[in-house]
Amino acid sequence: MSVRTRFAPSPTGYLHVGGARTALYSWLHARKHGGSFILRIEDTDLERSTAESVNAILEGMTWLGLEYDEGPFYQTHHFERYRAVIGQLLDEGKAYHCYCSRERLEQLRADQMVRKEKPRYDHHCRDLRTPPPADVAPVVRFKTPLEGDVAVQDQIKGTVLFSNSELDDLIIARSDGTPTYNFTVAVDDWDMHVTHVIRGDDHLNNTPRQINILKALGAPLPVYAHVPMILGTDGQRLSKRHGAVSVMQFREEGYLPEALLNYLVRLGWSHGDQEVFSVDELIALFDISNVNRAASAFDPQKLLWLNQHYLKHLDPAHVAHQLSWHMGKLGIDPAQGPELSDVVIALRERAKTLVEMAQASTIFYQDVTGYDDKAAAQLTPGVLAALDDLYTRLAALTPWTAESLHALVSAVADAHQLALGKLAQPLRAAVTGKTASPPIDVTLQLLGRERTLQRIERALDYIRKQSKD
């Protein structure tokens, strides 16, 4: 039977990195086995589910490259089916109507608490002998077996036993007929022929309930793998307090999807000492049963390190594509300047994030309108003659290459008895407005002749004006 996995987010917020890691593990498991990866939107909680959050989830999945083979399916489109299965369970005596009032249930609970018993339903309506009250819309409860255990054979946690006596006769349909969470998950996993349920371990307690429902339906059981939580560096569950937690927030902060995926896969899974994995390597090496049992802590420094690694090693054209989004946010049009992948090559040694890279790229696409203090300090009358000479010789330079530019700047420095740096720094200040940029020859080459000359001219004017004042 071919492997079928699913990612089943509830659309009640952004795509959290914990959810993204679960999706990644499910996706990898399907890809590894040549199976299918399904996206199912669990939107039955009508009050908390929003279209905006569905979009955020889809956007996050697309950005990460976790393409799904089937879906997105929406649970709200399956209400007819759930109603039919509930009818079937009632007909077969595997579920029953419960008419107990809220007051009765509250009293029951209070009494159990006094007796220090675990609160649970007392089966009052399970074998109701008296005629049901006519004016009460009942809920439907599932008949949990009265005895025995449910063994969850978890691929990550090992075998986890739950005693049926601990599980309640859970409500599978509310009094308005709408189905409840554990029931819809079980029915959909069955209908979608899911073979492997890979999800967060906050759902482990739901699993025996879902197994009982699947058994009652005569459905095959999937294999379960419950992935531990992600913690913050303080050992608490990762939340907004720790910084970015939404996938798209990491995009905003300048991370590459490759870096985030690589980081997430390693957070809870390893293959020897290897830190950097291509997606193809992951598909070959990943094994869900090797995921750690213990929760792992999110380490922003390591993610940053991986991001820098990918900025340096990925195809510059690919990085350029991601970079252009950040440039757009800064109001820069990458078409109005040098080829963006050349800019990536020039900047990638220094930038840790795409945000830093986009900021550094502005010198190639936007006019220099001022000099920062350090740059201004470089533009002194002492370099006027050399800069002026450089201007004339640059105007005539052919070809305009990093090599020829380097040779020319050196020659002009020599002619004016300046150490190379004593000319290169003022030149950098002149053409970038700053004192840090890629090597000056590369910077000039990317700027092109016209922009370079305009900027030197502006700096010459600036120096002359300063000396007059």
**CA distance linking residue 178 with residue 387, whole number of Å:** 78
In b/e form, how buried is each residue of 16-36, taking b as 16+ CB within 10 angstroms? bbbbbbbbbbbbbbbbbeebb
- Report the half-sphere exposure of 314 (CA within 13 A, side-chain side): 26
Of the candidates 15, 20, 37, 42, which one interacts with ligand GLU according to CB under 6 A?
A: 42
Active-site choice (116, 143, 240, 374): 240
Tell me the closest approach of the beta carbon of residue 180 to ligand GLU, in angstroms.
13
First to last CA, the chain: 84
**237 φ/ψ angles, rounded to the nearest 5 degrees:** -55, 135
Tell me the closest approach of the beta carbon of residue 198 to ligand GLU, in angstroms.
8
Nearer to ligand GLU, 23 or 265 (CB): 23
- Cα 397 → chain centroid: 48
Tell me the closest approach of the beta carbon of residue 52 to ligand GLU, in angstroms.
16
Nearer to ligand GLU, 27 or 310 (CB): 27
Single out the segment in contact with ligand GLU by CB under 6 A; choices: 2-10, 114-122, 343-351, 383-391: 2-10
Number of residues that bind ligand GLU (CB under 6 A): 7
Single out the segment in contact with ligand GLU by CB under 6 A; choices: 7-15, 107-115, 328-336, 378-386: 7-15
Residue 9 binds to ligand GLU (criterion: CB under 6 A): yes
Q: Which residues contact 389 (CB under 8 A, 6 or more apart)?
A: 412, 415, 416
**CA distance linking residue 354 with residue 345, whole number of Å:** 13
One-letter amino acid of 82: Y
**Residue 176 burial by CB count (10 A; 0-12/13-18/19+): exposed, middle or buried?**
exposed
Nearer to ligand GLU, 10 or 270 (CB): 10
Tell me the closest approach of the beta carbon of residue 278 to ligand GLU, in angstroms.
27
Residue number, nearest CB to ligand GLU = 199
Annotated active-site residue 240? The verdict is yes
In the region spanning residues 83 to 102, those forming contacts with ligand GLU, defined by CB under 6 A, are none
- Report the half-sphere exposure of 466 (CA within 13 A, side-chain side): 16
Single out the segment in contact with ligand GLU by CB under 6 A; choices: 8-16, 155-163, 375-383, 415-423: 8-16
Residue 199 binds to ligand GLU (criterion: CB under 6 A): yes
Nearer to ligand GLU, 184 or 425 (CB): 184
Nearer to ligand GLU, 210 or 425 (CB): 210
Of the candidates 30, 85, 185, 351, which one interacts with ligand GLU according to CB under 6 A?
A: 185
In the region spanning residues 400 to 419, those forming contacts with ligand GLU, defined by CB under 6 A, are none
Nearer to ligand GLU, 226 or 251 (CB): 226
Tell me the closest approach of the beta carbon of residue 8 to ligand GLU, in angstroms.
4
- Among 185, 189, 196, 199, smallest CA distance to 22 is for 199
- Among 220, 207, 193, smallest CA distance to 157 is for 207
Single out the segment in contact with ligand GLU by CB under 6 A; choices: 6-14, 136-144, 349-357, 413-421: 6-14
Of the candidates 4, 8, 213, 306, which one interacts with ligand GLU according to CB under 6 A?
A: 8
Of the candidates 31, 143, 196, 203, which one interacts with ligand GLU according to CB under 6 A?
A: 203
Nearer to ligand GLU, 27 or 96 (CB): 27
Decide: 88 and 46 in contact? Cβ < 8 Å: no
Residues 84, 88, 89, 90: what is their CA dihedral angle, to the nearest 10 degrees? Answer: 100
Strand 4-7, strand 36-41: pairing: parallel
Q: How far is CA 111 from each of CA 16, 100, 115, 122, 227, rounded to the nearest angstrom?
A: 40, 16, 6, 11, 37
Residue 24 binds to ligand GLU (criterion: CB under 6 A): no
What counts of helices (H) and strands (E) characterise the chain? 18, 12
Active site residues: 240
Residues found near ligand GLU in the complex (CB under 6 A)? 8-10, 42, 185, 199, 203
